[in-house]
Amino acid sequence: MTTKITCAIVALAFSATTAIAETHSDCAPSKWGAEDTIGSANHVSTERTLDAAKLIKQGKSVPLGITIDAQTPAFAPRTLSLQVVQPNQQGGVKLEAFGYPGNYNDDILHTWVGIGSQLDGLGHLGEEGLYYNCLDEKEISVLTGLTKLGTHDVPPMVARAVIVDMAKHFGTDVMEAGQGFGSEDIKAAMEAQNLSFNAGDIMLFHTGWTQGMFEQDPTAWVSGEPGLTNEGADYVASLDPMAVGADTWGLEAVPAIEGDGTFYGHVILLKQNGIYILETMNTGPILDDGVNEFMFVLGQARIRGTVQAMINPVALY
């Protein structure tokens, strides 16, 4: 059976732990314009792509995504099931219509999209019935797919990316579940690691969580995680990134630190600022290679109306 996050964490995710709320009247149009639906993906540009390409020195390409299957731990009730079939070939029948005794395999995938490495689109988390750019849930949330904010509209994300090694900052290989970090820790880590950040870059945090826990203790891996505090999410948003991610399944600290809303960083980034979230980014191998900045390339599957996308971004350096 697929390992799932504990009921207690699910309850936390959907309970208010602080009085953080906006009213509909407080909603302000995005800085990208009142009609915008792609948020920080507006940062994609030819200039940014050319600048990122200058970071390719060794000619290496490294995947940031993890391999997933039916046993991959996931936020409940998400599951995945794969079947490989040989249509019309029962009993060893060959497909003579091909002009030769042909045979082939096809696959059928029954899955929630939010499993493993993923892109959280701007229609994922909202507040008070509203999503990014004041879009109302009654307008965009249709059973057959989002009518706006679908991840199919996100252009290929190409940018400079940096990895901020928070595990190194805290002097450990693997941070603890519920261990949060905010602006002061992020600033200190970046200064010590000689990292700069520009508007439109992609910021990834390394906590050691996936490298140290995913295979070793999958139940623990999905039952909590280290990550951003709400204040940390506000700070990162102020840097104007194209996307923010981590080597964890949900980006923020779980359980949340005292006074924080669980997964409220998602609301801060997605709803309030139109900034995409990259989850379960396998940053460890890149840091092990002595690299903390690289060209980031993502072209997600373009399934109309999806809230999230299964992804495998490539790090080029």
Q: Does domain 7-71+116-316 have CATH number 3.50.30.50?
A: yes
Backbone angles phi, psi at 186, to 5 degrees: -65, -45
b or e along 250-288 (b: 16 or more beta carbons within 10 Å of the residue's beta carbon)?
bbbbbbbbeebbbbbbbbbbbbbbbbbbbbbbbbbebbe
How wide is the angle at C-alpha 268 spanned by C-alphas 262 and 271, nearest 5°?
Answer: 110
b or e along 178-190 (b: 16 or more beta carbons within 10 Å of the residue's beta carbon)?
ebbbbbebbeebb
Whole-model pTM above 0.95? no
Q: Are 48 and 158 in contact (CB under 8 A)?
A: yes
Q: Are 301 and 121 in contact (CB under 8 A)?
A: no
Rounded Cα distance between 305 and 309, Å, is 10
Q: Cβ contacts of residue 111 below 8 Å, gap of 6+?
A: 79, 80, 81, 82
Rounded Cα distance between 234 and 265, Å, is 8
Domain boundaries of the chain, sorted by first residue:
7-71+116-316, 78-111
Q: Kindly report whether the peptide bond that precedes residue 285 is cis, defined as omega within 30 degrees of 0.
A: no
Give pLDDT tens digits along the chain (317 positions): 444 444 444 444 444 333 333 445 578 999 999 999 999 999 999 999 999 999 999 999 999 999 999 999 999 999 999 999 999 999 999 999 889 999 999 999 999 999 999 999 999 999 999 999 999 999 999 999 999 999 999 999 999 999 999 999 999 999 999 999 999 999 999 999 999 999 999 999 999 999 999 999 999 999 999 999 999 999 999 999 999 999 999 999 999 999 999 999 999 999 999 999 999 999 999 999 999 999 999 999 999 999 999 999 999 99
Q: What's the Rg (C-alpha) of the chain?
A: 20
For residue 315, how many other CB atoms are within 10 A of its CB?
25
Rounded Cα distance between 5 and 8, Å, is 8
Rounded Cα distance between 244 and 150, Å, is 18
| pLDDT tens digit sequence for 231-277 | 999 999 999 999 999 999 999 999 999 999 999 999 999 999 999 99
Q: Are 206 and 283 in contact (CB under 8 A)?
A: yes
Place of tokens 């009213």: 23
Q: Which residues pair with residue 163 across a beta bridge?
A: 204
Strand ranges in the chain using DSSP code E only, listed in sequence order: 61-63, 80-85, 106-111, 118-120, 130-131, 135-136, 157-165, 180-181, 202-206, 227-228, 243-246, 276-279, 293-298, 308-310, 314-316
The two tokens of residue 154 are 């996100």
For residue 23, how many other CB atoms are within 10 A of its CB?
9
